Amino acid sequence: MPFTTHNPTTNQHIQTFASLDAAHLPQVLTDAHSAQHDWAQSDFSTRAEMLRNAANQLLARRDEYATLITLEMGKPMREARAEVEKCAGVCEYYAQHGEQFMRAETVVSDAAHSYIAYQPLGVVLAIMPWNFPFWQVFRAAAPALMAGNALLLKHAPNVPQCALAIEEIFRVSGLPEGVFTNLLLEVEHVAEVIASPHVHAVTLTGSEAAGRKVAALAGQHLKKCVLELGGSDPFIVLHDADLELAVNMALASRFLNCGQSCIAAKRFILVPQIADEFLQLLKAKVETLQLGDPLDDATQIGPMARADLRDTLHKQITDSIAQGAVAVCGCQPIARAGFFYQPSILDCVTLATCAYHEELFGPVALILRAADEADALRLANDTRFGLGASVWSNDSERAEQLAAHIQSGCAFINGMVKSDPRLPFGGVKASGYGRELSKLGMHEFVNAKTVWVR
């Protein structure tokens, strides 16, 4: 079946691409395995030069790549440009630090000399999502390639032009053929790739359901697996918070990328002293958001990426309202071409509403009213997800103490949750396992080999 891409702003067909003939898949996997063997023998300076070339290519053609992102999944252009720039940054980071991260570590033992050698694992299958179609790929690819691995990309079916563009970036940057391969592959053939003896690990960013399937397949074949799945991040506002700062960051965190982000703040947990004022300030700012054509730099909210995503979100909202939640603003699709949804706020989200339990992947902020600070912590942890969290208070020491008890892969004090190449990124509970970025992320796909010398 061909891959067909539509513009979510207009719902117009853009282009159709033929999927990979399944009969050719075994040869593609063999070629990747062979290419990785040679790539693993290259020196770090060669790998670093390739990554720097990729960074330069990204920056030189930033607007072109940003336009691809916007046309395929609807991200506003100014956000798409920032995404491309961030990809260049992660390439530069691993070009600068990758060799150091792979350096053998001496360990004192009963040997005359013993150490941990870090060696590439092999071929890594990367199953990537549409919401950050460049960043998610480069976040996985830069450390994996710098370590000496090869990468097979199975991208989301609605962003094939982005996938092809990324493959071209690595090709013109000097990466040998077969070390990075884009697979325009049907979902039913993913299991064959994971089962192949030429594939040694899998990394997936996607839904909880996709993570469970991939983890089961990887486990069946004893393949290393890293999963970055959904999130329902708590945003806890304490009584002494700087409300202007908190509201501004709440707006940015929730409505960036039309709310289609795993690490977006989704549950705004408010203590009684500030709840009404915070909600009033947030509502005023949400109602000023400029919704429109994402190619226009004035636009702050573009369309959702697909019609089915918008419809799913609206059902979650209407079900929650029927179950007792209160629509503060928005909460309706927009009657125009494309897949637009009003920026929305739902108040009085309680245990009785589906919004309390589910991840809402779109432009809607959920208000949860806590009885006190202890109850705010309880609400933050009362979810199966555990990706990120933030706490807002002028007493940063107290906020840090509270954050220490939040079950999440990262916690930010008076700051918006974000990924940074210098820091490990990932979740706990149903948000997945393993880490990306930093030294830890690079070491997920290496063989940490013990060497002992008498």
Annotated catalytic, 262?
A: yes
- DSSP codes of every residue in 407-424: -SSEEEESS-----TTS-
Contact criterion met (CB below 8 Å) for 420 and 86: no
236 — pLDDT class (breaks 50, 70, 90)? very high
- Spatial distance between the Cα atoms of 342 and 347, rounded to a whole number of angstroms: 16
Reading the block at residue 428, the tokens are: 């706990």
Q: Which of 182, 138, 178 has the alpha carbon at shortest distance from 156?
A: 182
What mean pLDDT is predicted for residues 381-404?
98
- Spatial distance between the Cα atoms of 439 and 326, rounded to a whole number of angstroms: 45
What mean pLDDT is predicted for residues 299-326?
98
Specify the pLDDT at position 4: 87
Specify the pLDDT at position 2: 80
Mean pLDDT taken over the chain: 98
Reading the block at residue 450, the tokens are: 């013990």
pLDDT digits (tens, 9 = 90+) for 185-198: 999 999 999 999 99
Annotated catalytic, 329?
A: no
Specify the pLDDT at position 77: 98
User: Is the pLDDT score of 245 beyond 90?
Assistant: yes
- CB atoms under 10 Å from CB of 280, counted, come to 12
Specify the pLDDT at position 302: 98
- CB atoms under 10 Å from CB of 409, counted, come to 23
Q: Per the residue annotation, which of 72, 83, 228, 358 is the catalytic one?
A: 228
What mean pLDDT is predicted for residues 225-254?
98
User: Is the pLDDT score of 1 beyond 80?
Assistant: no
Q: Per the residue annotation, which of 91, 262, 329, 331 is the catalytic one?
A: 262
Contact criterion met (CB below 8 Å) for 402 and 344: no
User: Is the pLDDT score of 17 beyond 80?
Assistant: yes
pLDDT digits (tens, 9 = 90+) for 39-94: 999 999 999 999 999 999 999 999 999 999 999 999 999 999 999 999 999 999 99
- Spatial distance between the Cα atoms of 284 and 329, rounded to a whole number of angstroms: 10
Percent of the chain scored above 70 by pLDDT?
100
Reading the block at residue 305, the tokens are: 């990426």
User: Is the pLDDT score of 358 beyond 90?
Assistant: yes
Contact criterion met (CB below 8 Å) for 120 and 147: yes
Domains in the chain (CATH in brackets) are 3-229+429-453 (3.40.605.10), 233-413 (3.40.309.10)
| Helical (H) or strand (E) element with 356 | helix 354-357
- CB neighbours of 254 closer than 8 A, spacing ≥ 6? 264, 265, 266, 268, 363, 364, 365
What mean pLDDT is predicted for residues 217-245?
98
SS3 annotation, 180-198: EEECCCCHHHHHHHHHCCC
